[in-house]
Amino acid sequence: MSTPFNYKHLYYFWVVAKEGGISRAADKLDMAVQTVSAQVRELERSLGYALLKPAGRGLVLTDAGLAAMQQADQIFQLGEALPARVRDAVSAPTVRLAVGICDGLPKLVVRRLMQPVISEPNLRLLCHDGEIDELLGDLALHRLDVVLSDRPAPVNPNIKLYSHALGSSTMAWYGTSDMLAVTQHNFPHSLAEVPLLLPTAHTAVRGRLEHWFEQRGIRPRVVGEFEDSALLKTFGASGMGVFPAAEWAHGDLLDHYALHRLGPCEGVTDHFFAIGTEKKVHHPLVLRLLQPAL
């Protein structure tokens, strides 16, 4: 195992590289030229590569020196920011909440689910979007405080997980004014006459939608499938096709996306869950998220 290099040596090298020479670095550091030069040589010896080479009356970085300088920049810029970060942490204590959000969960619904906590004055909210298996792994490792999902946690003999129902929303079909003109007569069978956008099969609601089509004898013309619900709504708002959405987001869809509700998706409901590792929740903000369901 190699001996760790000396950060003080790295700092002297960093100043030399920034100043463009050992003499100027020595003036800035208020040190003897010989001392600074010796410190840089010690760093080169510990790394096993020359970091500086003569160029005219000064010094320039070698390829190894460029690599070392990039790392040193990150290290010492972070170091310079440390006092302010510590001061901010002491003067403004925060309440941290790390939330995993399943990628198929409608983002407009997520905002509604998070409404009970976003008014917390000292909140530091960390949101991680991803697939449910990956998020549950981070939850088990305590990297997340809670996972928001459109389905309860799967049974896993290695991880004890608890699913808390947060609520549910009926579904409806949305589209542009052009789509409304085509579909308003003989709805919902008129959906067969327009292009459709659907969530991908990794969402819990996709199977319910396919069953809904089968029950009504509708053969959908699917032109797009989306893992990300925000992309689904964006493409729907552009006129690419009609799409289903939770009616919890009805106001936002009409106000911010200039869409129209074409008709209900009767019998199809989207369910929402908070998944944690504790049967009795202790995190105060997770408890607040669960309050509507308690």
Per-residue pLDDT reduced to its tens digit, 213-231: 999 999 999 999 998 888 9
* pTM metric for this prediction: 0.65
Give Cβ neighbours of residue 129 (< 8 Å, ≥ 6 apart).
100, 101, 102, 103
For residue 77, pLDDT over 50 is answered with yes
Give Cβ neighbours of residue 213 (< 8 Å, ≥ 6 apart).
219, 220
Is residue 260 within 8 Å of 88, Cβ to Cβ?
no
pLDDT the model gives residue 57: 74
Planar angle of CA 201, 203, 207, nearest 5 degrees = 60
For residue 140, pLDDT over 70 is answered with yes
Domains and CATH numbers, the chain: 7-90 (1.10.10.10), 95-103+110-158+278-293 (no CATH), 168-272 (3.40.190.10)
pLDDT the model gives residue 234: 93
pLDDT the model gives residue 1: 39
For residue 179, pLDDT over 90 is answered with yes
Cα–Cα dist 294/289, whole Å: 10
DSSP 143: S
Number of helices and strands in the chain (H, E): 11, 10
pLDDT the model gives residue 171: 96
Cα–Cα dist 278/180, whole Å: 46
